[in-house]
A and B are shown apart, each in its own frame.
Chain A
Amino acid sequence: MKRLAVFLSIIICLILSVGCTGANSPSSLTLVCPDGAPAISAYALKDTKVNVTVYPSASATASIQKDIRNKSADVAILPVNLASKLCASGADYKMIGVLTHGNLYGVGKNVLDENGLKGKTVGVIQLNAVPGYTVKLMLEKMGLQYVENKEEKNADNVYLYQIPADATAVKTALDTSKADVCIVAQPMCDRLISAFSLIKSIDVQSLYGYFPQAVAVVKTSVLENRKSEVNEMIASLSGCDYTALNATELVNWINLHVADGEVSSLAPQALTVSALEGSNIRFSPAQNEKSAVLNYLTQLKRFDTELGTVAIAVGDTFFWSGV
């Protein structure tokens, strides 16, 4: 009986000690983000106590949505329209800043002439999501009409179609002249250019103008009660020079944090200085980005349909003023 009591005591002590020293101890903040540029932005927190989870792109929206609704994540990095839909009221989460500032580029085989995109076929990753909506806004700003039905394509408009976010698919589309230009995100853009001798023919950010792509939101209770940790996190994000990262270390770190033992889609050879520069990753506080966010969300709302909304108009309470 005595032996049994000692044995049970040891087991309980072991369980308690594992519980106390585990990565998910109550003292560490939890951050969730999708793979890609947002995961690169989270690398700035590698020396902090923040517990980072990177979700593979395919499941990221559903996983982050679940974490925010359950309030199981203290911090989340997510596309701005998704943030507006999940945290519009600012009651549970507030936006603390913008982390990625547009990373969409067009790659092709030829330099575009003075007529630019008129009469061209453009492949776009995620045509029915933020990248596609931004390309459409860019074309409207350039005074170009776009169509999504091949039959309506003519010499005066731009035909848009969806391409998979896959290097081989982009190369095949350009090789077979299925597309004149393909709009992809960094760092895939530079990878395509270096691997297949393609040309960067469009900078969506230059043609459309600046837009906030991924933002960081933090739980309101954390902002109120754990100010020092939030400040430490913001200091790390603000102080990081994302263009001077060691690509191998970066990818190894991200791989350690991908959910369910998966690996990141990022490859060290793709993360050149140019690719990291083009990813436009830097922390910019919410108050500085307020008008840009409001303007971009208003533009995105034009793509709302009878079936659903792309973005939701947010008020002042959405933005955190403490930074």
Chain B
Amino acid sequence: MKNRGTYLTKTVFSVIFIAITLVVWQIVALIVNDDFAVPSLLSVGADMLKIFYVPSFSIAYFSTLLRAFIGFALSFITGVLLAVVAKKFAFIKGLCVPLVSVIRLIPTMAIASLLCITLSPSVASVAVCFTVVMPYVYSSAQAMLESVGDELLEMAKVYGVPHGRVLSGIYLPTVKKPLVELLGTAFSFALKITVSSEVVTGALKSMGGLINTAQNVYLSPSLVVAVTVWVVVTGLFAELITHLVATLLDKRRRA
């Protein structure tokens, strides 16, 4: 009952936040009264619907989604594996600290500009996504693994509990929910980075390419915002799905 109340409160707050954002946006648009500076909700909404039925938008949307998914999958697998190995071997953990720090510190746009010299814009976008998202996944996964109680692990070692049982009985219950939630946040992060790098690398059949063309050729800020809102909605949808799955897992565990 308490949980249901919490979810209801969260939903209500989310709806209030979205409503406030939309109202503030429309008020600013009315004050500025220039669709080129701040596009109105109406023109953005109209463009969102208009592009939904345009085949070139579908191609761009799914191409970006595919790049983001490849970048996300590579980042997730590498990041989690690296965190597991780092947990097991202190030597690897020591090596990972400077490696991940350096990757995290390299300016994203510099990587994008460098990679698009030798790679195609599509591959460069995926590579940029990997360099940004992988350190994030690694850090999050490492924090999750660190949260597993040392006493329990020590006890399992003393009693000679097999590795499989340690994994399913100690690690999995602790990291299951945050790991599922990390899937959503990492994917929406990957999507954001992929679109940004598409803008820089000049990938044509992509959401980033659409943003470039809308901005520099069609001179349509409302189309730029419409494409951006579709990206945001997709990211939020991914986060919502994984949040629901995580909640279900949590409920099942409590039951």
A binding-site residues for B, Cβ under 8 Å: 61-62, 65-66, 69, 81-82, 85-86, 127-129, 148, 161-162, 164, 166, 168-169, 172, 176, 305-310
Contact = CB atoms under 8 A, between A and B. Distances in A.
B43 interface: no
A307 B214 contact: yes
Contact of B51 (A129, A164, A166, A307): A307
Contact of A307 (B36, B204, B218): B218
A129 B117 contact: no
A129 B116 contact: no
19 contacts: A61-B215, A62-B216, A65-B36, A82-B219, A128-B209, A128-B213, A128-B217, A129-B213, A148-B204, A161-B120, A162-B204, A169-B117, A306-B56, A307-B213, A307-B223, A308-B217, A308-B219, A308-B220, A309-B218
B202 interface: yes
Contacts of B51: 307
B118 to A, nearest CB: 6
Contacts of B216: 61-62, 129
A32 to B, nearest CB: 16
A323 B98 CA distance: 66
Given A128-B204, A128-B212, A305-B56, A168 B217 contact: no
Contact of A164 (B116, B217, B220): B116
A127 B204 contact: yes
B50 interface: yes
Contact of A308 (B36, B202, B204, B223): B223
B121 interface: yes
Interface residues of B, number: 28
Contacts of B25: none
B32 to A, nearest CB: 12
Contact of A62 (B117, B215, B220): B215
Contacts of A82: 219
A308 B117 contact: no
Nearest to B210: A307
Given A307-B57, A307-B214, A164 B117 contact: yes
Contact of B218 (A66, A86, A127, A308): A308
Contacts of A306: 50, 54, 56
